[in-house]
Structures are given as C-alpha cells and as structure tokens.
C-alpha cells in the first residue's frame, strides 16, 4: 500500500514538477502479485520476484530518454490490489500496459513451454500482442476476462513469460541473462509507441 502511494505520487509529481512536454507518454509495466501474494512458487523461486525483477530491468533500460516514462505499479515486494493498480493506471492514461506473470499447471514438470499473451477485446490490445509475438516464442494469444484487462482503459496485455514448472523456462526467467533479454525485448516493443 505504501509502495503504491509512493509510486503514484512520484509519477504525478514528476509530471507536474519537471518541464514535461505536453506529449509526454507513459508506459505502465505491472509486476504481477507481490507481498503475501507469491503467485506461483517452485522451490525457492516465486513468480512475484521474477515479475518485479524484470519490471525493474525494463524501467532501468528506459531511463535515459525523454520520449516516454516507464511507470511500475510496484518496484518492491508490495501488494497493491488489482483495484488499486487499475485505478492508478486509468489516472495515468498510458499508451500501453503490460502486466507480467508466470504460468504454471498442476504437473510436477510440464513439457509445456513458452509465452502466452492474454488480451482485451480491442484492436490495440491485439496489435500489442502481435508485436510481442514477433519478439517472443508465443504459444498462445487469447482474449481473457481478467481484472487487469477488463478494468484498464488503455491498451493492455497480460503476458505469461513461461512455465514455472518447466525447468528450461524457469531457469531462463530467473537467470540474469534471461531477465535482461526479456527486458530488452519489451523495451524494443515500447519504443514503437
Ligand atoms: Zn500470475
């Protein structure tokens, strides 16, 4: 909660205090889960840590430019509720919203691999998913009635970056190399907006 308020405040104060061009664009990266909500867990690895690490890496890669500002819904182990996240996002009115998650299923080790993208029922959400499909090995793009997608007014996608219970996916998304590559791919996509 405190993290959420701070972030929301810094986003707004930055836009008021700096010499913000009128056409300043916001890009929101939402790190799924946080706090007591671990997301899916495999051994010592939790979804909430993977998503925030990648979100922070995306923010870092986009710091030294003035085309747009990357705003994170959380940059610590906080848990803004889904309602708080979408309220903040709708106030910002960003160009796009990318919500980061990890997949899992009940199998101990799944042969399933790769990225899945869930979209809103809009052309712009679909277009964003297409851009993601060009960079990632996307196994599935599907419309889903999820809070983040339903309540966000801006074009949004929810990306499942791989399966927690697939060793290859898990090792990749938890490695420094994997996280940097994933963040770079999202940065390339963001730069098209
Ligand atoms: Zn999740």
- Return the number of other C-beta atoms located less than 10 Å from residue 4's C-beta: 20
Q: What is the per-residue pLDDT for 64? A: 87
| Percent of the chain with pLDDT strictly greater than 70 | 88
| Distance from Cα 18 to the centre of ligand 1, integer Å | 35
Residues with C-beta atoms within 5 A of ion ligand 1: 32, 39, 101
Domain boundaries, the chain: 2-190
**Model pTM?**
0.88
Which residues, 6+ apart, have CB-to-CB distance to 44 below 8 Å?
none
- What class is the 2-190 domain? alpha beta
Q: What is the mean pLDDT of residues 102-114?
A: 96
| Distance from Cα 109 to the centre of ligand 1, integer Å | 18
How, if at all, do strands 41-42 and 45-46 pair?
antiparallel
Residue 7 pLDDT greater than 60, yes or no:
no
Cβ atoms of 71 and 8 within 8 Å: the answer is no
Tens of pLDDT, residue by residue over 127-178, are 999 999 999 999 999 999 999 999 999 999 999 999 999 999 999 999 999 9
| Distance from Cα 48 to the centre of ligand 1, integer Å | 8
User: How many whole angstroms separate alpha carbon 74 and alpha carbon 8?
Assistant: 10
* Closest C-alpha to 100, from 78, 116, 81, 84: 116
Q: What is the per-residue pLDDT for 4? A: 52
Q: What is the per-residue pLDDT for 164? A: 97
- Return the number of other C-beta atoms located less than 10 Å from residue 140's C-beta: 12
Strand order in the sheet with 96-103: 68-72, 25-31, 96-103, 156-163, 115-119, 138-143
């Amino acid at each position: 909660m405190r993290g959420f308020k701070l972030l929301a405040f810094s986003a707004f104060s930055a836009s008021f205090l700096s010499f913000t061009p009128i056409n300043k664009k916001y890009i929101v990266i939402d790190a799924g889960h946080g706090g007591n909500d671990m997301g899916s867990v495999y051994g010592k690895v939790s979804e909430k840590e993977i998503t925030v690490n990648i979100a922070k890496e995306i923010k870092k890669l986009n710091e030294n430019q003035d085309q747009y500002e990357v705003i994170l819904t959380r940059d610590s182990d906080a848990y803004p509720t889904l309602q708080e996240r979408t309220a903040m996002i709708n106030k910002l009115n960003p160009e796009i919203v990318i919500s980061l998650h990890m997949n899992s299923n009940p199998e101990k080790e799944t042969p399933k691999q790769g990225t899945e993208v869930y979209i809103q029922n809009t052309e712009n959400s679909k277009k964003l998913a297409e851009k993601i499909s060009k960079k990632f090995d996307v196994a599935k793009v599907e419309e889903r009635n999820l809070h983040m997608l339903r309540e966000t007014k801006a074009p949004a996608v929810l990306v499942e970056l791989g399966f927690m219970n697939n060793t290859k996916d898990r090792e990749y998304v938890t490695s420094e190399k994997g996280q940097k590559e994933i963040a770079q791919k999202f940065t390339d996509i963001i730069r098209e907006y």
